[in-house]
A and B are shown apart, each in its own frame.
Chain A
């Protein structure tokens, strides 16, 4: 087991490096040149008594200074990448990259990217965790029930709903919910994390936040209900048709034991990666939901960063996304082992 994890980790690091290098190359194509803009800005701030030629030399000087500071004084992409990682020294001989804890500086927010991303992750996780628990709480019992009573009226009705829900892009569900809950019923506010200007503390504040977060939560839950429900039902049906289930029934086990202990355990195997992926996906945020509700989570942060070409922030968030993706793959592979003893042995 330990050897397997080590192998996976090494492989993960390899993929991570390849991916980040590719992404890094991609971002190098972005037209943002920070050294150039900063040099221009500083030149504009100087007293404007210089002649054109003097200005030009001064600019060159400043440009070089900023290039050296930002480590862009070379065109070698590999060196740039290593500098970004913190494995290759800057002009002043010091390494200053990710390994040194310097993740970059967000120009849009005028702050360190870590301090920008922190609250966004918190917001996304708050809402994501609640909705993920709701989703699993609804889909697992419902999926099992549908699979057990396959072909019944209840199952067919649920099937119709899940088919429609599965085919509906999430933003249409959100529009419907906004119209219904905000415009027609007026139960929930449309956007924001709390009432503007509210200074309430303690329980009152918590209730206020809950009131604002409720609708995005409901929307997020309903948005992913259908697809998970379908998968749960399908894998449960597969599990119920296994020979071991027939054997278990033949042994005279209680139906409950057959379903929840024998069948469900088998059904879990294909579901594990989806559940684990769902939980890790929380950190990535829900881009469409956050855009529609103006909810300050990871998705909206990333979207705005892309719109404003906030280079360091995009890069950092992309690293987070990639890392989460790879890590959740690893965790779900390990979970396979937990769920399915055969996998454990074959390792």
Chain B
């Protein structure tokens, strides 16, 4: 016992003492406990007498779980309230179709080591990326499991592994490949005829089957481009012949491209196929007026494509989900379509520098120039448009994933990659990152819990004080009022109130305030009862009699003399009802009557993942959120329990 090492909890306890009571007290307390252990030096009697508050604190700090809980809750508070200022790119209503229901991963940019020095091409549309080496070997990385279908594109078919592949392309849930003999392969989902023809697909008018020419085999030497979109793919030959197939419901203008032989370039946005016909003076998509306004940089005033080109021709085009970028024959670019809010501007090139290769991701573009520099611009939500322009040079080829960019030099060596690594907690059914929603939702849940408790205290303690101290008729009336509120069935009433007030159109913050007020107004009787009961005891005690004898005003006695003496009991209830309010809010939001989507709260984040299929297939959508919710509640309840224990003089001797 003598040389008992100071353990971590002890240390933490000392820190806390120091934090709240100052170094002097800490020293004293520490020495005292040491002295008690040593048993050599008997401390002064005067030192042993500590005020009840200090004694309580001292005993609280001896409980290691309680101290840990305090630390955890404080950290949780910091993360939730200060954290969001370090993650500026968060929007409540963020949705991303191609990133729905993705499991936790950090493998989006994990290019296989064998591929890194030998890149022939990289393609990506959704959650997985396919790469091809010069030796004709196919690699797949990222999230390869496709939703709840049980398919995994990582299982590359045997014949593809054995063949020497010349072209690959990835769609949202399928991969197509063509080998050196022109043989066509496909794997992944074939629900919409992405790569194989079946009876069912032929009979479905909404699906365009794979053309027979492609299935028979195309000449790989004459392929100009192989590209894939949401649930569709296209093969473009160098004579302008286009083979295109897939889900017509995803791409309504596929019809306009079938059987064309005058196409120079083709790509897929989220909803349209865009092409370049051989007159090269505009973007062809079969829809008049769409993609017809061009601009040189993001945010410029657009002009008609014909005027913008002014005699120049379009060399090639590449697309994101909502915009198209055209590379013109003088090396400049024309941007068409919409850009998201957090964009990075098109870079200004030096004199004599021009773009040689441009690739589009989901919202950003990455390009390399004749001088070997690499640039990115466009949507920057996951920092995918922040190219390391200064750091690398000698880039000859660039590839993009949805939110990733890869720069490759002339030796097919991967120079650098940047963008989205993955999602720590996965994504929800709208494609938003759960980790950042947990933080934002925690802020909502904790704020609601805290403010609801504050409202409860303000009403409950005041009424309890008045009623307990005044007594008589006032007491009876106030307690009857409290009883009326206490008799209101909580959930049904909150449901009806919240749906009633929802008729009034209100902003998110007003709605939040409304929930806090409802919780607070329905929860105060508990505090009133406790305060009143305590007051009834305290009113008879000597110090109150003394104060009365000295002629202190009644109000002053109630608030200045009695309240501080009963505050400890109230404190326990504050902590416990904070946890309870948080739980009520989550339950209410879970039922769809509290905080509404898109604003996140821990409750409504869980409600969408609560059905049997989602619960097992998309386990990450509820597991992390529930864990954090439960963990926080456990910590808060531990604190409350411990305070109650240490303040109870009866429980001082045992344990």
Could you tell me which A residues sit within 8 Å of B by CB distance? Answer: 15, 18-19, 23, 26-27, 29-31, 150-151, 163-164, 166-172, 174-175, 178-179, 182-184, 190, 241, 284, 287-288, 291-292, 302-303, 306-307, 309, 314, 317-318, 321-322, 324-326, 329
User: Does B650 sit at the interface, judged by CB under 8 A?
Assistant: yes
**In the complex, A302→B492 CA distance in Å?**
8
Distance in angstroms between the alpha carbons of A170 and B584 in the assembled complex: 10
Q: Are B487 and A170 within 8 A (Cβ)?
A: no
Query: In the assembled complex, which residues on chain A have CB atoms less than 8 Å from the CB atom of B488?
Result: 19, 322, 325
Question: Taking beta carbons and an 8 Å cutoff, which residues of B are in contact with A?
Answer: 480, 483-484, 487-489, 491-493, 495-497, 499-500, 503, 579, 583, 586-587, 590-591, 593, 603, 606-607, 609-612, 615-616, 619, 622, 626, 629-630, 633-634, 636-638, 641, 650, 654-655
Q: Is the CB of A168 within 8 A of B633?
A: yes
Q: List, in ascending order, chain A residues with CB within 8 A of B587's CB.
A: 169-171, 288
**Bound complex: CA of A163 vs CA of B66, how far in Å?**
13
Contact B487 A19 (CB under 8 A): yes
The one of A164, A167, A171, A307 that contacts B610, using a Cβ cutoff of 8 Å: A171
Q: Contact check: which of B492, B607, B637 meets A166 at CB < 8 Å?
A: B637
Nearest B-chain residue to A293, judged by Cβ: B612
Q: Is the CB of A169 within 8 A of B495?
A: no
- A175 interface neighbour in B489, B603, B606, B637, Cβ under 8 Å: B606
Task: Give Cα A26–Cα B497 distance, bound, in whole angstroms.
Answer: 8
- A179-B616, A288-B590 as given contacts; A306 in contact with B489, CB under 8 Å: no
Q: Is the CB of A287 within 8 A of B483?
A: no
> Do the beta carbons of B579 and A151 come within 8 Å of each other?
no
Question: In the assembly, what is the distance between CA of A291 and CA of B606, in Å?
Answer: 14
Contact in complex: B615, A284 (CB < 8 Å): no
Chain B residues in 8 Å Cβ range of A163: 634, 637-638, 641
Q: Which residues in A have their C-beta under 8 angstroms from that of B626?
A: 168, 172, 175
Cβ of B487 and Cβ of A291 under 8 Å apart?
no
Interface of A is mostly: helix
Q: Which residues of A contact B655 (CB under 8 A)?
A: 151
- Given pairs A174-B610, A318-B496, 7 additional interface contacts (CB within 8 A): A167-B637, A171-B587, A172-B606, A190-B611, A284-B489, A303-B495, A322-B489
B610 touching A292 by the CB < 8 A rule? yes
Contact between B591 and A288 (Cβ–Cβ < 8 Å)?
Answer: yes
Contacts A168-B630, A169-B586, A288-B590 given; indicate if A306 touches B616 (C-beta within 8 A): no
A318 to B491, CA, bound (A): 11
Tell me the complex Cα distance, A179–B497, Å. 33
Are A169 and B590 in touch, CB under 8 angstroms?
Answer: yes
Is A178 within 8 A of B612, CB to CB?
Answer: yes
Q: A164-B634, A169-B590, A318-B492 are in contact. Are A184 and B616 (CB under 8 A)?
A: yes
Q: How far is the CB of A16 from chain B (nearest CB, A)?
A: 9
9 A-B residue pairs with CB within 8 Å? A15-B483, A29-B500, A167-B579, A167-B630, A170-B587, A291-B591, A302-B492, A318-B492, A325-B488
CA distance A127 to B600 in the complex (A): 33
In the complex formed, the residue of A with least CB distance to B585 is A169
3 closest pairs, A vs B, by CB?
Answer: A167-B633, A183-B616, A321-B489
Q: Within the assembled complex, what's the spacing in Å between the Cα atoms of A126 and B637? A: 33
